[in-house]
Amino acid sequence: MTVLGSITDVTGVEVGHHQRTGRGWQTGTTVVLVSGGATPGVDVRGGGPGTRETDALAPENLVERIHAVCLTGGSAFGLAAADGVMEVLEERGLGVAIGGSVPGTVPVVPAAVVFDLGRGGRFSHRPDAAFGRRATQTATPTLSRWGSVGAGTGARAGMLQGGVGTASVTVGLPPGDSGDPGPEPPACTVGAVAVVNANGSVFDPSTGALWEHRSAGLSRPSAAEARQLRDLPSTPVALNTTIGVVATDASLTKSEVGKLASVAHDGLARAIRPAHSMFDGDTVFGLSTGHVDIGAGPTTLREPGSRHHALDAVLRAAADAFASACVHAVLAATAIGDVPAYLDVCPSAARSRAGRGPWR
């Protein structure tokens, strides 16, 4: 299956980027904006996460809807970018409404970071609140910029340039009892955006092919290109991290959105091997905009029209979408400085892609 599309195919989701390069800079911020609100979830893995507001997303805690997620470079320093996202949301009246004599809103902006400190030459050049503000203000419902932009500007995929990628899957929900055909079951969309800054490898060293090359409609690179890829200078153990968001318009509970984020990690592990190392802080946020009601359905587990079957279809799509988003991040990356991009080394890998991909 070839998975293309964008997280912005999910109704209500917008994405914006801001980045700086040159003069010691190579970093940026990406914001996933949901102005209408979304039910959130999160799954944090790896030995070195850098996150903000993840506890608020636990199913047993108070916050039921959020309006943005911030993905950013800058390691722990970069969490300051979420302050700028909060400022914009507050100006727009979005957040948790606080009543009383002095009413207002408190935006809850979960955030996760990748380690890119010093990759542009200056350790002190990292995202701040201004990055988050600008990324939020540029968010649009058509995500047309990929690769080495936003939070992917300073990203690395092993010895290659990393980046931002995205994908979406349309899910035909299972029909109900076959004895009553009824109306056509609804379809929903699952989309993902990933910032690939992986400590693990994104390609099979024996062939040079990306681990998930089939989902992108790619062929294997030539033998000469594979050798060139293997001959690239090896990188020392580094602090990295792959982060992202998986979103759906299916109406899910907070617990189910947490499961959505958890299963998306399966896609991450298919595209990057190994994943979740002690040197990664792999984090995936989940969002449900709730535009498609997948219903309660029959409660018996074996009945095909049950909510359990519909949810399972959405979860499987989350893994596929996130795996493809990771692949697209690597394909869309462009070299910054002396670190090559995958298609610079293996251009023939893209020659048999099916359909129009979001890379190059």
Per-residue pLDDT tens for 257-279? 999 999 999 999 999 999 999 98
pLDDT at 356: 45
> How far is residue 16 from each of residues 73, 136, 138, 142, 295, measured CA to CA in Å?
14, 6, 5, 9, 32
Q: What is the pLDDT of residue 4?
A: 77
Q: What is the pLDDT of residues 142-176, one digit of tens each?
A: 877 889 999 999 999 988 999 999 999 999 877 65
Q: What pLDDT score was predicted for residue 303? A: 61
CATH of 7-350 among 3.60.70.12, 3.20.20.60, 3.40.50.1240, 3.40.50.12280: 3.60.70.12
* Phi, psi angle pair for 187, to nearest 5°: -115, 150
Inform me whether the pLDDT recorded for 32 exceeds 80. Answer: yes
- Which residue ranges make up each domain of the chain? 7-350
Q: What is the pLDDT averaged over residues 305-310?
A: 81
Q: What are the φ and ψ backbone dihedral angles of 168, each rounded to 5 degrees?
A: -150, 155
Per-residue pLDDT of 194-230, as tens digits, reads: 999 998 899 999 999 999 987 777 888 999 999 999 9
Of the listed ranges 27-31, 57-61, 337-341, the least confidently predicted one is 337-341
Tell me the pLDDT band of 85, cut-offs 50, 70 and 90: very high
**Cα–Cα distance, 19 to 72 (Å, whole number):** 10
pLDDT averaged over every residue in the chain: 90
pLDDT at 131 over 90: yes
Strands 66-72 and 156-157: unpaired
Q: What is residue 62's predicted lDDT score, i.e. its pLDDT? A: 95
Which single residue is written with the structure tokens 């957040």?
Answer: 95
The β-bridge partners of 192 are 167, 246
Interval 173-183: pLDDT, tens: 776 543 445 55
Between 179 and 60, residue with greater pLDDT: 60
Please check the confidence at residue 239 and state whether its pLDDT lies above 80: no
pLDDT > 60? residue 359: no
Query: Are 40 and 34 spatial neighbours (Cβ–Cβ below 8 Å)?
Result: no
| Alpha carbons 13 and 20: distance in angstroms, whole number | 24
